[in-house]
């Protein structure tokens, strides 16, 4: 495995040469170092209580529904047909139920109930029923998260330290310890990773889009390179599609021309790196991929069922 320091040096060089390889937050497009992420995460957990709110369709009308709930020192009160008041000793928040029920006055709110998600987050379910008793539609509902402050002092320092981390340190400590190309399987990186970046950079320069272009994700799927981005011209996408097609013919382990495509977890391999425990899905013949199951008898790698010595008697 490559030394982390050496890999950081390589990542810095690649990010300077190809700005779109610089790791960024997928949603904000900003560089994210997160030096103080551990501290802010701890302060957030100790100063905020998340309470989720969603709706649930009641198909049978019950006799009694909760209008108020109390848990973890948190009180929830249903007010009328359109509002929840969620409070603790420190904070109070109002939740407009129109965002939960997509309200256009078609529902009657019957009450509220409490469940817990798999992560242990409390979830307030707003129990509703269509006003039209003949309405049999299986409705879906919105989902909102209410953040209640549980400790004002810790929450204050959480917001201060988070601002310092994101607005100051993230802008100064810009050294990338990894780059977007790390997500590409090693064989494809060796075979055409840098050349693909050169071609993309050349096209982005022509499009005057070099510093605006963003990679969203690079991965392997169904034995082929998947390069997801945000924006770019038709010519750029033609370049990406060319290399995505090339990946299907390139060994994912070493970058040599692929001779087999494995079944199960579909990946292209050369003869040297084809996994012994895998059966062949396709094989290269005369510069064409041929599905092996069409001609399985020619290949010893496909285990055929053994024939029984005894011939079954014909039914009388």
For 131-146, how does the pLDDT look when each residue is reduced to its tens digit (9 = 90+)? 888 888 888 888 899 9
pLDDT bucket at 1, cuts 50 / 70 / 90: low
- 92 closest CA partner among 83, 101, 105: 83
Q: Report residue 93: phi and psi, to 5°.
A: -130, 145
The confidence score (pLDDT) of residue 209 equals: 94
Q: pLDDT (tens digit, 9 = 90+) per residue, 206-263? A: 999 998 899 999 999 999 999 999 888 999 999 999 999 999 999 999 999 999 899 8
Sheet strands side by side (includes 143-149) = 107-116, 122-130, 48-57, 143-149
Give the three-state DSSP class for 205: helix
pLDDT of residue 307: 45
CA max distance for the chain: 90
Domain boundaries, the chain: 4-28+176-247, 48-148
Whole-prediction pTM value? 0.58
> pLDDT tens for residues 5-18?
898 899 999 999 99
The string of DSSP codes covering 280-306 is EEEEEETTEEEEGGGSGGG-TTSPPPP
Q: For 73-112, what is each residue's pLDDT tens digit?
A: 999 999 887 889 999 999 999 988 887 777 667 888 888 8
In DSSP notation, 32-88 reads ---TTHHHHHHHHHHHEEEEEEEEEE-SS--S--BSEEEETTEEEEEETTTEEEEE-
**Within the chain, where are the H helices?**
4-17, 37-47, 98-101, 152-164, 170-172, 186-188, 194-207, 234-247
Distances (CA, A) of 119 to 61, 113, 116, 146, 247: 30, 18, 8, 16, 39
Reduced to 3 DSSP states, what percent helix, strand and coil does the chain have, rounded to the nearest 5? Answer: 30, 30, 40
Whether the predicted pLDDT of 310 surpasses 70: no
**Chain segment 160-196, per-residue pLDDT in tens:** 999 998 888 887 877 888 899 999 999 999 999 999 9
Partners of 113 in beta bridges: 125
Task: Locate 136 and state its tokens.
Answer: 């049999």
Q: What does the pLDDT look like over 40-76, one tens digit per residue?
A: 999 999 999 999 999 888 876 666 788 999 998 999 9
Q: Tokens 């551990």 appear where?
A: 38
Rounded-to-integer distance, Cα 100 and Cα 262, Å: 47
pLDDT range class, residue 293, cuts 50, 70, 90: low
């Amino acid at each position: 495995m490559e030394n982390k320091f050496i890999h950081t040096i390589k990542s810095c060089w690649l990010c300077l040469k190809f700005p779109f390889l610089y790791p960024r937050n997928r949603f904000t497009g900003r560089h994210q170092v997160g030096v103080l992420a551990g501290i802010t995460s701890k302060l957030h957990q100790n100063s905020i209580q998340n309470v989720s709110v969603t709706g649930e369709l009641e198909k049978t009308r019950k006799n009694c529904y909760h209008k108020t709930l109390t848990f973890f020192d948190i009180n929830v009160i249903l007010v009328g047909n359109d509002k929840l008041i969620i409070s603790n000793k420190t904070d109070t928040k109002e939740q407009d139920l129109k965002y939960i029920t997509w309200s256009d006055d078609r529902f009657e709110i019957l009450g509220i109930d409490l469940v817990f998600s798999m992560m242990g987050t409390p979830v307030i379910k707003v129990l509703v029923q269509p006003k039209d008793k003949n309405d049999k539609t299986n409705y879906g509902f919105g989902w909102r998260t209410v953040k209640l402050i549980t400790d004002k002092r810790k929450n204050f320092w959480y917001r201060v330290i988070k601002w310092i981390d994101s607005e100051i340190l993230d802008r100064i400590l810009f050294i990338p310890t990894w780059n977007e190309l790390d997500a590409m399987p090693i064989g494809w990186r060796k075979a055409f990773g840098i050349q693909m970046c050169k071609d993309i950079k050349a096209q982005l320069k022509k499009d005057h889009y070099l510093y605006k272009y963003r990679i969203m994700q690079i991965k392997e799927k169904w034995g082929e390179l998947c390069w997801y981005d945000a924006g770019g011209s038709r010519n750029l996408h033609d370049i990406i599609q060319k290399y995505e097609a090339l990946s299907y013919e390139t060994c994912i382990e070493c970058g040599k021309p692929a001779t087999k495509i494995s079944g199960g977890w579909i990946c292209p391999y050369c003869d040297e790196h084809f996994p012994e425990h895998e059966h062949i899905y396709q094989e290269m013949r005369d510069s064409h991929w041929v599905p092996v199951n069409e001609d399985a008898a020619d290949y010893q790698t496909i285990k055929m069922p053994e024939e029984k010595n005894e011939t079954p008697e014909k039914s009388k």
